[in-house]
Amino acid sequence: MSSGNNNNAARIDTARRVAIFGGTHGNEMSGVTLVNLWMQNSAEIQRKEVDIEPFITNPKAVEKCVRYVDTDLNRAFTQENLSVTGGDELPYEVLRAQEINRMFGPKGTPEAYDVIFDLHNTTSNMGCTLILESSKDAFNLQMMNYIKKAFAPASCLVLLNEHPLLKYSTSRSVAKHPVGLEVGPQPQGVLRSNIFEAMRVILKHALDFIELFNEGRAFNVVPQLMHLAAKL
């Protein structure tokens, strides 16, 4: 698949396996609610020739409505954690990270899922923000541009969280093309309808892009990015 129609266009494989993660932090309710909804009825997220898997990443934290049980799952996907042994003596989120890596990875291999969307809320009044981990991921850059245009006139910022010394240990980093989505403001443990709907619409546009991309649609322009040099 080409991301453009000229001789210098990047060649990018189609995205056939996509996961949508909710509950990485168990008290961020928009992602939890959307994923639970789609696990019960996936008709809304089905796209042609794309396998889409809605998934609750931290069910124990969701059950307790807390951010995490033992340690932050969204910081647990280091190579050390993914390879450490110790069985039940390990923190719950480390064991869960290993399980997720087996299901959707292995991280950094050709067998890993093509795209993972990781859904988050924030108490900050930052609106809708898509979070990327690489300025060289042409597929994600084209998708961000598509989403921003489709979501207009509403605003959806794109945050590039990139640094040469930063080793990504987020849950979404298991995928070839990791995408974070942060929507706020929303208090922890609370579900606001406008925040829920904004996240839902952005995911719709994202999945529409993947379907169009797989069908051979050419995309050329990339969005302006906000740069962040340090880990959130």
Active centre residues (catalytic)? 182
Q: What is the DSSP letter of 179?
A: E
Query: CA distances (Å), 38 to each of 16, 19, 20, 57, 151, in order?
Result: 18, 12, 10, 14, 21
Within 168-218, residue ranges assigned H as helices are: 193-214
Q: Do residues 130 and 158 make contact, with C-beta atoms less than 8 angstroms apart?
A: yes
C-alpha to C-alpha distance for 200 and 204, rounded to whole angstroms: 6
Query: DSSP characters for 120-142?
Result: EE-SSS-EEEEEES-TT-HHHHH
Residue 208, Cβ density class (10 Å: 0-12 exposed, 13-18 middle, ≥19 buried): middle
Query: What are residue 109's phi and psi, to 5 degrees?
Result: -120, 160
Q: What is the DSSP letter of 165?
A: T
Torsion angle in degrees (nearest 10) through CA of 196, 25, 231, 185 = 30
